[in-house]
């Protein structure tokens, strides 16, 4: 029991932070963290596919869109209560993902990446083309969120619902990538040839990974539609799929807790990239660095900042935020062992991510 | 919309020429992608934005510095080479040993930065880009063929042929091919592999610049102008086989021609469906030929 | 091994709290966004991405507010009743999902008093229900979709500004019927409510039988999706070409038509027909024939037309541009559009009283009756609950040899 005490304390701290947040933060921040939760769910899925099974997907925005549209259509055109549509959205996306897994078997590496990219590109166009069901370019407007619990505002209610789903799906994902199945998935990632020689069915595990990760993305998309109360072809552009992948790498592919860091990145960077510039310019001016008169609202400047931040993150944390944790721990361990004069021996080797 | 029963030949030829011109643009950008992939095994998502950036430089040369088109064109090609070379050495090189995923994201970061930089320096408004070809159409057998379209096809093909000749007949080209196939043995033979990679990026940037400068008069110069072209270029590269230069060009031409003619002659296909259809075709082709039309299929027997 | 988890989760928890706490806001007292010395409003515009040309509207608004904040009004105070107007511009990249997020940020976090001139039909539709639920004024949206005026009873906190697309279509349709009757029209329109509504107005006046062929292109499709449809339209044999698009697509359509040797009579919707865009099309096609004769509708004074060279308002516009936005082109109508809209807001704000509330501002905006020197012939603005379309008058105008010149009578819309 004592072995697990630190872990329980850690998780407990996290859970407490999640529960307490709405009481400390303003309304908008609460909604933003609901978005973070939705992205975390999508990233769990992407982590299963890309991190654990090694199949690069540039199309997860497309699966999110499927979930979102299912929610929109069911909620608005058929009066289904919005929260009930979430599993259905996930299911629809999961089926598409599973089916996508079959042709994906024949594709490898870059071809697979580009085929998934194609998916991200096609889904919005298909949504426009079938306008009678999807509202075309105008999309579907959902009802504004309401809260069935008197004590909670709609934003807070949705926040807790979101994070409850996050917790449940986290447990599910941890179970999914554990044990024999997890080893098989990782074997597919590490060396397909060796995996097949060991009797692991590539087709079974790849399609499974696609299906499950698409299910997660679909759930995330449904949630997103409810939080944002609108679904349009432009809600999940190609740039979002790319941003998700970036979030996964930044957070640390294969590590579920890194996923949370990645989700924070996905939500906050696009909104605040431009805002970072203001203080930076002030600082530069105070340090007498000639930066000229840079107006943060000049078009293009937020993009440059965002790209630079991304590059910086990739340079500093090539294994993602989870990797930073590893490296920091390795550093503290080395310091500890140098300070303590005892028969500690050489520092234990760190396992890579 | 009704399918016309009688095909008007004049319109048909106009569509064909336009489709081929568009296809040439896709093909040259696809070739750039293939070039980088073959030499360094990196999928460069920033290829289109680099092309856009160099096209802006050409625009700036003609507008702000008084160059006429062709001198600006060639100067831009030189600048593009230097830019591509420099980016490989400075931005990509540090990630030499990083995972595939990380490198893809580095190119994506480049994509974002280049787009933002172009918008910042030159403002995001669309502007007219005056190409070297007059807008007066050719009159061939009574059919008005756009001079612009023919010129685009010509310039692109010429560039591709010149590049092919370079790789085939010069020592440097041979060294680059060697570095791509076997970096280890090449090093032993004295080839500076790192410089070969950078040169590959330089030439790819040149191809991209040609693509951009040819397409800009048609679709107007703006920081986002190459984004849809990039998507088609990827499709073309994959369609032709990601390691096949011939495939890239053929794939591009087929895509350009195919989407134009399909849209023109199949009634229910509106412009909305151009992109999905192109990609659906792509996925279909990949099902039957997983390595693309001209790709080499690696058979692994287990 | 276990300490790793503890460390990571503890860091994550701490980071979360650090990010969350600064977002906490104090309990508001009166209407948010209005203080003793300033009033804060917001707008959502595409600052980046393909439609970022429209960012100039925000620049125009800001320029005008700088002027108002610096000069002394008739009561001797700077700003409006001594309050400086602060405009926060949010980038929504023309993406409705972003519009929702940025609008929520403006309302919930930055506590703006009102939203002014948000751009994009679908974008403003997306936030309309939200803003009305929160009773935040959604003023003078930058789109001409008629429902922004028609649905005022359903959405009392939302009001449009310019003549709507149906009316613009009708005016062009009438022109067609009176001058081009018997000819056939080829229509290129955007595949959304804007395109649909405009064409509906046009055909209601011109007659549906006059249409030879219609092609649509997807919103945000970019210039590459234009040449195909234009070639198809040309093949229809029509001698009139109606273009209902946004700027890039309009320019591309005109240039493509020219390149294909097609010389129809060109009718263009006002969104894509400013002098700047016409000049761009002319440069790209290499000939004035590509754009000469373009007929469109207009409701604001034309800052590039010789006819307005000595107009007091246009001169004021140019002076303000030089002072507050140096380096920007002064013949660009989008800046003027922004300034005119900003002035409407200032007028409404004055009428909202010395201690404006959101309700009093909305009341003032919906009942605005004045002569505005910014619109055509400084005509009257008479808004009311029964007719929530502020700008009422429009006119036909034709482009020739570098500038537009109006012709025909001033037509009342609704």
DSSP summary character for residue C270: G
Residue in chain A closest to B94 (alpha carbons) equals A315
Whether B225 sits inside 8 A of C222 (CB atoms) is yes
| Chain mean pLDDT for chain B | 82
Residue with tokens 């990239």: A273
Residue partners of B29: CB distance under 8 A and separation at least 6: B47, B48, B51, B207, B208, B211, B226, B229, B230, B233, B252
pLDDT value at position B30? 92
In 3D space, the residue among B137, B131, B121, B42 whose CA is nearest the CA of residue B87 turns out to be B42
In 3D space, the residue among B250, B232, B260, B111 whose CA is nearest the CA of residue A118 turns out to be B232
Asked whether the predicted pLDDT for residue B296 surpasses 80, the reply is no
- Average pLDDT, stretch C280-304? 89
pLDDT value at position C88? 92
With respect to residue A78, please indicate whether it lies within any of the assigned structural domains: yes
Whether C224 sits inside 8 A of B219 (CB atoms) is yes
B98: left (phi over 0), alpha (psi -120 to 50) or beta: beta
Q: What is the pLDDT of residues A153-168, one digit of tens each?
A: 888 889 999 999 999 9
Q: Which of B101, B124, B290 is opposite residue A107, by nearest beta carbon? A: B290
pLDDT value at position A6? 66
pLDDT value at position C268? 95
In 3D space, the residue among B185, B245, B189, B179 whose CA is nearest the CA of residue B40 turns out to be B179
DSSP summary character for residue C398: E
H helix runs in A73-201, sequence order:
85-105, 109-129, 131-134, 154-176, 179-190, 192-197
- What is the C-alpha to C-alpha distance for residues B269 and B277, in angstroms, rounded to an integer? 9
Query: Mutate which of C227, C253, C278 to test chain B, going by most B C-beta atoms within 10 A?
Result: C227
List CB contacts (< 8 A) between B302 and chain A: 193, 196-197
Q: Which of B11, B128, B259 is opposite residue C284, by nearest beta carbon? A: B128
Asked whether the predicted pLDDT for residue C271 surpasses 80, the reply is yes
The burial class, CB within 10 Å (0-12 / 13-18 / 19+), for C74 is: exposed
With respect to residue A349, please indicate whether it lies within any of the assigned structural domains: no
Q: Which residue has the higher pLDDT, B31 or C24?
A: B31
- Pair C213, C186: CB distance under 8 Å: yes
DSSP A245-271: HHHHHHH-TT-HHHHHHHHHHHHHHHH
C100 and chain A in contact, CB less than 8 A = yes
Query: Mutate which of B223, B267, B270 to test chain C, going by most C C-beta atoms within 10 A?
Result: B270
Whether A298 sits inside 8 A of B120 (CB atoms) is yes
Residue with tokens 């073959």: B38
Q: Which of A110, A300, A314 is opposite residue B118, by nearest beta carbon? A: A300
Whether C125 sits inside 8 A of A138 (CB atoms) is yes
With respect to residue A84, please indicate whether it lies within any of the assigned structural domains: yes
Q: What is the pLDDT of residues C223-242, one digit of tens each?
A: 777 877 888 888 888 999 99
- Pair C318, C303: CB distance under 8 Å: yes
- What is the C-alpha to C-alpha distance for residues A341 and A345, in angstroms, rounded to an integer? 10
Whether B228 sits inside 8 A of C222 (CB atoms) is yes
- Average pLDDT, stretch A214-232? 93
- Average pLDDT, stretch B79-95? 91
B157 alpha carbon, distance to own chain's centre: 12
H helix runs in A47-84, sequence order:
60-72
Whether B102 sits inside 8 A of A302 (CB atoms) is no
Chain B residues with a Cβ under 8 Å from any Cβ in chain C: 1, 4, 8, 11, 14-15, 18, 22, 116, 119, 124-130, 134-135, 137, 144, 146, 148, 217-220, 222, 224-225, 227-229, 259-260, 263-264, 270-272, 274
List CB contacts (< 8 A) between C2 and chain A: 3-7
Torsion of CA C151, C153, C155, C158, to 10 degrees: 80
Instruction: Look at residue A301 and give its three-state secondary structure.
Output: helix
Distance from CA of C252 to the nearest CA of B (A): 7
Q: Which residue has the higher pLDDT, C67 or C56?
A: C67
Torsion of CA C10, C13, C18, C21, to 10 degrees: -140
List CB contacts (< 8 A) between C248 and chain B: 126, 220, 222
Distance from CA of A230 to the nearest CA of C (A): 7
Those chains having 3 or more beta-carbon pairs within 8 angstroms of chain C are A, B
Q: Which residue has the higher pLDDT, C255 or A286?
A: C255
Distance from CA of C392 to the nearest CA of B (A): 30
List CB contacts (< 8 A) between A29 and chain C: 19-20, 23-24, 109
Q: What is the pLDDT of residues C72-126, one digit of tens each?
A: 988 889 999 999 999 999 888 888 888 998 999 999 989 999 999 999 998 999 9
Residue in chain C closest to B262 (alpha carbons) equals C228
- Pair A259, A39: CB distance under 8 Å: no
Whether A193 sits inside 8 A of B300 (CB atoms) is yes
3-state SS record for A9-22 = HHHHHHHHHHHHHH
With respect to residue A45, please indicate whether it lies within any of the assigned structural domains: yes
As given in the structure block, the two tokens for residue A30 are: 């609460």
List CB contacts (< 8 A) between B4 and chain C: 235
Q: Which residue has the higher pLDDT, A291 or A73?
A: A73
With respect to residue A348, please indicate whether it lies within any of the assigned structural domains: no
Whether C130 sits inside 8 A of A31 (CB atoms) is no
Show the domain range for A111: 2-343
> By percentage, how much of chain B surpasses pLDDT 90?
22
CATH number of the structural domain spanning residue A136: 1.10.3470
With respect to residue A243, please indicate whether it lies within any of the assigned structural domains: yes
Residue in chain A closest to B281 (alpha carbons) equals A118
Instruction: Look at residue C74 and give its three-state secondary structure.
Output: coil
With respect to residue A333, please indicate whether it lies within any of the assigned structural domains: yes
Asked whether the predicted pLDDT for residue B110 surpasses 70, the reply is yes
pLDDT value at position C8? 56
Residue partners of A254: CB distance under 8 A and separation at least 6: A47, A51, A52, A353
- Residues of chain C by 3-state class (helix, strand, coil), percent to 5: 45, 20, 35
List CB contacts (< 8 A) between A308 and chain B: 109, 113
Whether B235 sits inside 8 A of A118 (CB atoms) is yes
Largest CA-CA distance found in chain C, in angstroms, rounded? 84
Task: Work out the pLDDT band at A4, boundaries 50, 70, 90.
Answer: low
Distance from CA of A64 to the nearest CA of C (A): 14
| Chain mean pLDDT for chain A | 79
- Pair B249, B293: CB distance under 8 Å: no
With respect to residue A352, please indicate whether it lies within any of the assigned structural domains: no
- What is the C-alpha to C-alpha distance for residues A250 and B241, in angstroms, rounded to an integer? 31
Torsion of CA A105, A107, A113, A117, to 10 degrees: -80
- What is the C-alpha to C-alpha distance for residues C143 and B230, in angstroms, rounded to an integer? 31
Those chains having 3 or more beta-carbon pairs within 8 angstroms of chain A are B, C
As given in the structure block, the two tokens for residue A72 are: 């929109």
- Pair B223, A301: CB distance under 8 Å: no
Whether A137 sits inside 8 A of C55 (CB atoms) is no
> Going by DSSP bridges, is the β-strand pair C211-217/C240-244 parallel, antiparallel, or unpaired?
unpaired
Asked whether the predicted pLDDT for residue C60 surpasses 70, the reply is yes
Q: What is the pLDDT of residues A297-311, one digit of tens each?
A: 566 677 787 788 888
pLDDT value at position A281? 67
Whether C227 sits inside 8 A of B18 (CB atoms) is yes
C247 and chain B in contact, CB less than 8 A = yes
- Pair C127, C118: CB distance under 8 Å: yes
pTM (two decimals): 0.83
Neighbours of A282 (CB within 10 A): 11
What is the total count of domains within chain A?
A: 1
Those chains having 3 or more beta-carbon pairs within 8 angstroms of chain B are A, C
Distance from CA of B46 to the nearest CA of C (A): 16
- Partner residues linked to C295 by β-bridges: C267, C398
Torsion sign over Cα B177, B95, A114, A272: negative
> Going by DSSP bridges, is the β-strand pair B143-145/B138-140 parallel, antiparallel, or unpaired?
antiparallel
> By percentage, how much of chain C surpasses pLDDT 70?
92
Q: Which of B116, B134, B219 is opposite residue C223, by nearest beta carbon? A: B219
pLDDT value at position B282? 76
List CB contacts (< 8 A) between B150 and chain C: none
- State which of A304-318, C2-16, C304-318 shows the largest mean pLDDT: C304-318
List CB contacts (< 8 A) between B259 and chain C: 228
Between positions 28 and 67 of C, the ones with CB within 8 A of A are: 47-48, 52, 55, 58
């Amino acid at each position: 029991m004592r072995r697990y005490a630190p872990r329980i304390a850690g998780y407990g701290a996290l859970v407490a932070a999640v529960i307490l947040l709405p009481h400390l933060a303003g309304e908008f921040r609460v909604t933003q963290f609901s978005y973070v939760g939705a992205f975390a769910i999508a990233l769990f899925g992407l982590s299963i596919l890309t991190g654990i099974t090694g199949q690069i997907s540039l199309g997860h925005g497309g699966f999110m869109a499927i979930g979102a549209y299912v929610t929109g259509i069911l909620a608005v055109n058929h009066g289904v209560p919005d929260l009930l549509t979430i599993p259905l959205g996930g299911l629809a996306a999961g089926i598409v993902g599973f089916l996508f897994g079959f042709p994906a078997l024949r594709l490898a590496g870059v071809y697979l990446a580009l085929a998934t990219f194609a998916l991200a590109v096609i889904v919005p166009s298909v949504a426009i083309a079938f306008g009678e069901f999807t509202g075309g370019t105008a999309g579907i407007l959902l009802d504004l969120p309401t809260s069935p619990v008197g004590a909670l505002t709609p934003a807070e209610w949705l926040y807790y619902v979101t994070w409850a789903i996050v917790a449940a799906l986290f447990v599910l994902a941890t179970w999914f990538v554990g044990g024999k199945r997890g080893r098989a998935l990782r074997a597919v990632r590490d060396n397909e040839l060796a995996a097949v020689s060991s009797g692991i069915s590539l087709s079974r595990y790849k399609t499974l990974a696609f299906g499950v990760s698409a299910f997660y993305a679909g759930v995330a998309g449904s949630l997103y539609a409810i939080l944002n109360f609108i679904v349009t072809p432009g809600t999940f552009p190609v740039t979002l799929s790319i941003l998700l992948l970036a979030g996964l790498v930044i957070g640390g592919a294969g590590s579920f807790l890194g996923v949370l860091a990645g989700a924070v990145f996905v939500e906050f960077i696009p909104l605040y990239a431009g805002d970072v510039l203001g203080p930076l310019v002030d600082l530069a001016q105070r340090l007498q660095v000639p930066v000229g008169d840079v107006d943060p609202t000049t078009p293009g400047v937020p993009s440059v900042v965002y790209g630079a931040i991304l590059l910086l993150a990739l340079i500093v944390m090539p294994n993602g935020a989870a990797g930073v944790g590893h490296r920091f721990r390795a550093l503290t361990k080395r310091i500890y062992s140098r300070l303590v004069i005892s028969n500690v021996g050489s520092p234990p080797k760190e396992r890579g991510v | 919309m009704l399918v016309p029963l009688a095909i008007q030949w004049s319109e048909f030829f106009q569509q064909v020429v336009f489709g081929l011109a568009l296809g040439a643009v896709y093909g040259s950008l696809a070739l750039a992608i293939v070039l980088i992939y073959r030499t360094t095994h990196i999928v460069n998502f920033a290829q289109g934005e680099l092309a856009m950036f160099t096209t802006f430089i050409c625009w700036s040369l003609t507008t702000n510095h008084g160059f006429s088109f062709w001198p600006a064109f060639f100067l831009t090609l030189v600048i593009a080479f230097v830019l591509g070379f420099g980016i490989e050495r400075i931005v990509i090189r540090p990630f030499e040993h990083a995972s595939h995923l990380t490198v893809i994201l580095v190119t994506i970061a480049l994509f974002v930065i280049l787009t933002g930089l172009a918008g910042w320096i030159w403002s995001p408004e669309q502007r007219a880009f005056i190409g070297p070809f007059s807008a007066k159409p050719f009159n061939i057998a009574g059919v008005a063929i756009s001079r612009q379209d023919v010129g685009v096809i010509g310039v692109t093909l010429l560039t591709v042929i010149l590049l092919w000749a370079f790789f085939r007949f010069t020592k440097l080209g041979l060294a680059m091919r060697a570095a791509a196939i076997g970096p280890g043995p090449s090093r032993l033979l004295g080839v500076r592999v790192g410089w070969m990679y950078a040169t590959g990026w330089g030439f790819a940037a040149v191809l991209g610049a040609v693509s951009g400068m040819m397409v800009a008069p048609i679709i107007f110069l703006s920081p986002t102008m190459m984004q849809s072209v990039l998507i088609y270029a990827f499709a073309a590269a994959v369609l032709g086989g990601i390691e096949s230069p011939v495939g890239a060009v053929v794939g591009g031409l087929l895509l350009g021609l195919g989407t134009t003619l399909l849209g023109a002659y199949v009634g229910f296909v509106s412009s909305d469906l151009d992109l999905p259809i192109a990609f659906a075709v792509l996925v279909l082709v990949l099902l039957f030929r997983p390595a693309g039309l001209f790709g080499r299929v690696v058979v692994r027997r287990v | 091994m276990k300490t790793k988890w503890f460390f990571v989760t503890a860091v994550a928890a701490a980071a979360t709290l650090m990010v969350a706490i600064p977002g906490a806001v104090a309990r508001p007292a009166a209407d948010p966004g209005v203080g003793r010395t300033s009033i804060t409003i917001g707008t959502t515009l595409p600052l980046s991405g393909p439609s970022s040309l429209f960012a100039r509207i925000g620049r125009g608004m800001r320029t005008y507010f700088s002027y108002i904040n610096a000069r002394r009004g008739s009561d001797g105070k700077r700003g409006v009743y001594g309050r400086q107007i602060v405009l926060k511009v949010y980038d929504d990249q023309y993406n409705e999902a972003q519009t929702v997020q940025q609008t929520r940020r403006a309302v919930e976090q930055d506590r703006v008093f009102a939203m002014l001139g948000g751009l994009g039909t679908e974008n403003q539709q997306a936030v309309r229900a939200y803003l009305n639920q929160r009773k935040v004024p959604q003023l003078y949206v930058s789109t001409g979709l008629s429902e922004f005026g028609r649905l005022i009873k359903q959405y009392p906190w939302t009001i449009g500004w310019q003549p709507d697309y149906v009316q613009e279509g009708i005016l062009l349709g009438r022109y067609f019927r009176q001058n081009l009757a018997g000819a056939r029209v080829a229509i290129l329109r955007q595949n959304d409510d804007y395109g649909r509504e405009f064409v509906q107005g046009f055909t209601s006046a011109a007659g549906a039988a006059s249409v030879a062929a219609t092609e649509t292109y997807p919103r945000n499709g970019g210039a590459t999706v234009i040449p195909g449809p234009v070639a198809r339209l040309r093949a229809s044999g029509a001698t009139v070409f109606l273009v209902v698009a946004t700027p890039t697509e309009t320019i591309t359509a005109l240039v493509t038509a020219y390149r294909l040797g097609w010389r129809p009579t060109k009718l263009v919707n006002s969104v894509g027909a400013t002098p700047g865009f016409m000049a761009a099309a002319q440069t790209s096609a290499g000939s004035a024939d590509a754009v000469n004769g373009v007929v469109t509708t207009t409701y604001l004074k034309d800052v590039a037309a010789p006819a307005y060279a000595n107009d007091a308002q246009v001169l004021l516009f140019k002076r303000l541009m030089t002072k507050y936005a140096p380096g920007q082109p002064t013949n660009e109508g989008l800046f003027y559009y922004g300034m005119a809209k900003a002035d409407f807001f200032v007028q409404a704000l004055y009428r909202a009283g010395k201690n404006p509330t959101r309700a009093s501002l909305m009341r003032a905006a919906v009942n605005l009756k004045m002569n505005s020197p910014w619109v055509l012939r400084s005509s009257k603005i008479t808004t009311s609950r029964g007719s929530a379309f502020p700008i009422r008058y429009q006119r036909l105008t034709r482009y020739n040899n570098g500038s537009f010149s109006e012709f025909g009578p001033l037509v009342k819309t609704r």
